[in-house]
Amino acid sequence: MAERYDSVADTYGVGPDDYTVPATRSLLDLVGDVDRLRVLDLACGHGPIAREMARRGAKVVGLDVSPRLLARARTSETDEPLGIVYVHGDASDVRTLAGEQFDLVVCNFGLSDIDDLDGVCESVTRLLRSNGRFVFSILHPCFPGVADVSGSWPTDAGYYDEGWWIADGRLSGLRREVGANHRMLSSYLNALIAHDLSIEVVAEPPPQEDWATRRPGARALPVYLVVRSKPSADRLAD
């Protein structure tokens, strides 16, 4: 998986940090006040969410599997010191960040990039403090695609066909290069439940107005999914 993202490290997300994507704005809204919290940005990539958390007063660790993306993140930290610590590691490996605890784990468009969903949810549960929160955003698992943008599943398959695939939509950008894992909505929610994470809030922000205007019918489609969860009462009782 590291090789997929190392291959696009020089071209992905180049330019100023962009927080205008509705799913990212929704994730930041659900995160709320992070001042003085210890935050893990899981699958941090080149670090835009980690930087925003740090600007808002959090003590941040960024975790990613791609050494080359982390190199970009560390360069940004040198240019704009925010106190972020970047760690190379697999989020689904039980040895990663062993013994660490966080008030908040965030993952912006990263869960579908991670092949082992159960492993990463187990890690989140292990890393969260008892009163912590896990907030993530993804392309909506029910998004069928529209006008040169691939949906959540291959064009020769259907919603119920889960697995990793490479998008073919002309405007699908990163997913044309590195692919993504399609999973049903129930698979994501059941993975949280199986690892003692209780769902607090679910948001489905509509797409950007200019994006939807250029694609007839896009306003009627589910494009983004954002979820906030916390350790369940069952875990706290153990």
- Which pLDDT tens digit goes with each residue over 100-133? 999 999 999 999 999 999 999 999 999 999 999 9
Residue 85, SS3 per DSSP: strand
- Paired residues of 180 in beta bridges: 165
CA–CA separation, 204 and 185 (whole Å) = 12
Q: Whole-model pTM above 0.85?
A: yes
- Which pLDDT tens digit goes with each residue over 5-27? 777 777 777 778 889 999 999 99
Looking at the predicted structure, is the pLDDT value of residue 1 above 70?
A: no
What average pLDDT does the segment 213-231 reach? 92
Looking at the predicted structure, is the pLDDT value of residue 237 above 60?
A: no
Long-range contact list for 72-77, CB < 8 A, 24+ apart?
Answer: 72/9, 72/46, 72/47, 73/44, 73/45, 73/46, 73/47, 76/46, 76/47, 76/51, 77/47
User: Domain boundaries in the chain?
Assistant: 2-141+183-231
Q: Are 46 and 71 in contact (CB under 8 A)?
A: no
Q: Are 109 and 202 in contact (CB under 8 A)?
A: no
| 48 Cβ contact list (under 8 Å, min separation 6) | 13, 17, 18, 19, 108
Looking at the predicted structure, is the pLDDT value of residue 92 above 60?
A: yes
- Model confidence at 236, pLDDT cuts 50, 70, 90, reads low
| DSSP code at position 205 | P
Write the burial class of residue 135 (CB in 10 Å: 0-12 exposed, 13-18 middle, 19+ buried): buried
Looking at the predicted structure, is the pLDDT value of residue 46 above 80?
A: yes
CATH number of 2-141+183-231: 3.40.50.150
Q: Would you state the pLDDT for residue 235? A: 62
Percent over 70 (pLDDT), the chain: 97
